[in-house]
């Protein structure tokens, strides 16, 4: 199976207790059923601790019961007691994979790193990620009902967008042009013509309604304070770091529209995420991590934000 990834992907290495923002805090960790069953079979005192720490949430998922907004196995040294007691291969899939993600497209797959991890974010803002690199592995292809016409339309559209972004500095005009392109591309998809329109320069404002920040559910008090105090402006400075963040969002989300046909959402998210990260009055990596954790990783917030 062909696996594609940005060039920074293999550079990632978790720094564990030295991380400034551990992924084991604040989030609810979903335990996949295979891991949950394995944990329930562990004997002794640690096995009892594992069983007592798991519950089923309102969505029917098995989760760890957070204590003081931390995973119950995140110890005082910010290290994982499951890893320490049972070894690296004992982690549930959520913990084993994060911050890596993978999306399958039939006989191919794409993997990457999530912007919500500070170490991954540091790699992402330093590199455009394109052109992609590829390897073959022995995993079985994902058998699905992917619409081939839509998939190849989106692949062509992504290449068009990446080339447009990469050609010179990132500007407000480019962001606006991508929003217009999003509407044009969605029209082609909805009509099932599947042709890729031209990206046209425009002076149309972004038109983001910052009242949306009042409607979101926040993970942290800091995130709520920062976003609710933000007044979106139409003219602001963009750097190569912001260009790389935009490319990250294009890479992660545009081709995934092959599953729901919503290219408009992927492009709007990419543009507005970049614009908001650029306007937060904190360092770029911190801005990117904050946006990703508070908005990108919440399905409810995403539907409000880019709906």
Query: Which helix (H) or strand (E) segment is 95 a member of?
Result: helix 93-97
pLDDT tens profile 143-171: 677 899 999 999 999 999 999 999 999 99
Span between the terminal Cα atoms of the chain, in Å: 34
Backbone angles phi, psi at 81, to 5 degrees: -70, -25
In the block, tokens 């993997």 appear at 111
Q: Tell me the average pLDDT of the chain.
A: 93
| CA dist., res. 8 & res. 235, Å (int) | 30
Query: 194 is written with which tokens?
Result: 């599947």
Residue 200 has a pLDDT of 93
**Beta partners for residue 108, in sequence order:** 2, 105
Percentage of the chain beyond pLDDT 90 is 77
Reported as a single tens digit per residue, the pLDDT across 76-96 is 888 999 999 999 889 999 999
Res 188: pLDDT: 98
Strand, coil or helix: 299: helix
Hey, which residues does 62 pair with through a beta bridge?
A: 56
Q: What is the pLDDT of residue 307?
A: 62
**CB neighbour list of residue 26: distance below 8 Å, 6 or more residues apart:** 69, 70, 219, 220, 293
The helix (run of H) or strand (run of E) holding residue 172 is helix 172-190
Q: Which residues pair with 150 in a beta bridge?
A: none
pLDDT in tens, 43-88: 999 999 999 999 999 889 999 998 888 999 999 888 999 999 999 8
Write the DSSP assignment of 249-296 as a string of letters: HHHHHTGGGGTT--HHHHHHHHHHHHHHHHHSSS-HHHHHHHHIIIII
CA distance 135 to 200: 35
Question: If we measure between CA atoms, which residue out of 196, 283, 216 comes closest to residue 245?
Answer: 283
Peptide bond into 47 cis (omega under 30): no
Q: How sure is the predictor about 289, in pLDDT bands with cuts at 50, 70 and 90?
A: very high
Query: Per mean pLDDT, which range of 21-30, 109-118, 153-162 is the poorest?
Result: 21-30
Residue 133 contacts residue 7 (beta carbons within 8 Å): yes
Under a CB-based contact definition with an 8 Å cutoff, are residues 99 and 114 in contact? yes
- Three-state secondary structure readout of 195-211: CCCCCCCCCCCCCCCHH
Given a contact cutoff of 8 angstroms between Cβ atoms, the answer to whether 257 and 154 are in contact is: yes
Q: Are 3 and 135 in contact (CB under 8 A)?
A: yes
């Amino acid at each position: 199976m062909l696996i594609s990834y940005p060039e920074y992907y293999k550079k990632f290495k978790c720094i564990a207790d030295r991380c400034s923002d551990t992924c084991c805090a604040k989030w609810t960790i979903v335990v996949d059923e295979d891991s949950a069953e394995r944990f329930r079979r562990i004997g002794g005192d640690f096995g009892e601790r594992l069983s007592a720490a798991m519950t089923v949430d309102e969505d029917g998922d098995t989760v760890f019961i957070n204590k003081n907004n931390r995973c119950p196995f995140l110890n005082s040294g910010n290290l994982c007691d499951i890893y320490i007691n049972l070894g690296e291969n004992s982690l549930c899939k959520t913990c084993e994979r994060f911050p890596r993600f993978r999306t399958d497209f039939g006989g191919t797959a794409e993997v990457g790193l999530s912007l919500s991890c500070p170490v991954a974010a540091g790699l992402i803002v330093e590199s455009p990620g394109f052109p992609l690199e590829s390897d073959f592995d022995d995993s079985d292809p994902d058998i699905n009902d992917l619409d081939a016409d839509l998939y190849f339309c989106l692949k062509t559209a992504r290449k068009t967008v990446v080339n447009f972004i990469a050609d010179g500095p990132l500007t407000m005009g480019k962001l606006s042009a991508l929003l217009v392109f999003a509407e044009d591309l969605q029209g082609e998809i909805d009509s099932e013509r599947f042709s890729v329109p031209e990206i046209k320069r425009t002076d149309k404002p972004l038109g983001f309604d910052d009242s949306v920040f009042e409607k979101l559910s926040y993970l942290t008090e800091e995130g709520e304070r920062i976003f609710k105090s933000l007044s979106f402006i139409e003219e602001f400075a963009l750097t190569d770091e912001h260009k790389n963040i935009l490319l990250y969002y294009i890479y992660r989300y545009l081709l995934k529209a092959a599953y729901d046909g919503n290219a408009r959402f992927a492009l709007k998210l990419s543009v507005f995420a970049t614009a908001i990260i650029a306007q937060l009055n904190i360092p770029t990596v911190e801005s990117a991590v904050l946006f990703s954790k508070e908005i990108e990783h919440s399905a409810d917030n995403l539907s409000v934000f880019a709906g």
